[in-house]
Amino acid sequence: MALLEVKNLKVYYPIKGGILGRTVGYVKAVDDVSFTIEPGQTVGLVGESGSGKSTTGKAILGLAKLAGGSIHFNGEDITRYIGKNRSDYRKSVQMIFQDVYSSLNPRKRVRDIIAEPLRNFENLTKAEEQKRVDELLTIVGMGSEAAVKYPFEFSGGQRQRIGVARAIALKPKLIVADEPVSALDLSVQAQVLNYLKDVQEELKLAYLFVSHDLGVVRHMCETLAIMHNSRFVEFGSREDIYNNARHIYTRRLIAAIPDTNPDLRTQNAENRARLSAEYEAEYSKYYGENGRVYDLKEISGTHHVAMP
Ligand SMILES: Nc1ncnc2c1ncn2[C@@H]1O[C@H](COP(=O)(O)OP(=O)(O)O)[C@@H](O)[C@H]1O
Ligand SMILES: [Mg+2]
């Protein structure tokens, strides 16, 4: 059984208008997406800003009202917990954010920040709690001396580690990591990605890894969903997406991966320009009326592409 099964998920936000604040329409933030995550697996969710990635993550955490579809976790329908603080589920699924600083209380010491979920859900003695916090700090590669400091005393990469320590405190099965390294310097990104992988192995965690950059998720994800205009344009294995992308939008995202090899810079810039031109010219072949993304069609056992 899949750990997470998302079926035909729809999340629509109302648009209010007029002096009466009536609902005059809807923003279809997520419009009919389906996918599964197996235990211990990493699925990448990639697309430009505004494509509906964070809303998909929020729906999985039970933080968004569904306009349609269903979400099952370990076979259990979670939609009835939406808006409720249902403890088992709230323990099993956690979120890591891009802007970790705003989610760490600046007036609290690291010990209290990491212990907060433990205090909410588990009855530990002071000594047990201290031991757990120290263990969690070790898992994310920090010493126990960090426990008595405040968030501002750390660098961005270290703060992201504190956020991860808090997210794994209750031994979740799934973490929705929403752009977890996007705010960090390139040199720190790889480091943070590596310990996210280590933590995954140690805890047998599954990730939904959200990013706008296909380069960042390349070594993290076995499976990728490419999202555009609130829908999936392509879904496949790492090989399908990086070596055999079929949708023009996916191909453009691949061309946009920042260059690490200076020798290829000119060639890649040309490639990017060519794909941008092709995107403009061929848009209508890949999108239906009003830019709607077609339904996914299976082109191999693992690979699905939105085509007419
Ligand atoms: N709380 C909200 N109310 C109204 N519209 C929203 C809300 N959150 C997101 N949206 C809209 O839904 C769409 C998808 O947003 P989001 O899921 O944040 O995309 P992404 O994470 O890919 O950048 C955007 O058009 C955004 O403006
Ligand atoms: Mg987002």
What CATH number is associated with residue 144? 3.40.50.300
Residues 147 and 199 in one domain: yes
Mutate to test the pocket of ligand 1, among 13, 214, 226 (most ligand atoms within 8 A of CB): 13
Residues 17 and 133 in one domain: yes
Domain boundary, last residue among 221, 254, 277: 221
Tell me if 229 CB under 6 Å of ligand 1. Answer: no
Domain boundary, last residue among 204, 221, 238: 221
pTM of the model: 0.92
Residues 118 and 47 in one domain: yes
Report the nearest atom of ligand 1 relative to the CA of 212. 22
DSSP state for residue 256 in the 8-state scheme: T
Tell me if 55 CB under 6 Å of ligand 1. Answer: yes
Report the nearest atom of ligand 1 relative to the CA of 47. 22
For the chain, give percent helix, strand, coil, nearest 5.
45, 25, 30
- Whole-number pLDDT of residue 157: 87
Residues 119 and 263 in one domain: no
Rounded CA-CA distance 157/51 in Å is 26
Helix ranges restricted to H, the chain:
53-60, 87-92, 100-103, 110-121, 126-139, 156-167, 186-203, 214-217, 238-244, 248-255, 265-286
Structural domain span for residue 285: 230-308
Reduced 3-state DSSP string for 52-100 = CHHHHHHHHCCCCCCCEEEEEECCEECHHHCCCCCHHHHHHEEEECCCH
- Whole-number pLDDT of residue 83: 67
- Whole-number pLDDT of residue 278: 87
Residues 158 and 248 in one domain: no
Number of domains, the chain: 2
Provide the CA 1 distance to its chain's centre, in angstroms: 22
Determine contact, residues 148/111, Cβ cutoff 8 Å.
Answer: yes
Residues 86 and 199 in one domain: yes
- Whole-number pLDDT of residue 79: 81
Residues 207 and 264 in one domain: no
Mean pLDDT by 10 residues, the chain (308 residues): 96 90 92 97 96 95 92 89 71 84 86 94 94 93 93 90 92 94 86 90 94 90 97 97 96 85 80 87 90 96 96
Residues 96 and 151 in one domain: yes
Residues 214 and 235 in one domain: no
Residues 187 and 293 in one domain: no
Residues 182 and 205 in one domain: yes
Residues 73 and 208 in one domain: yes
Domain boundary, last residue among 170, 199, 221: 221
Q: Which listed ligand is nearest to 182 at the C-alpha?
A: 2
- Whole-number pLDDT of residue 101: 67
- For ligand 2, the distance from its centroid to the CA atom of residue 32, given in whole angstroms, is 18
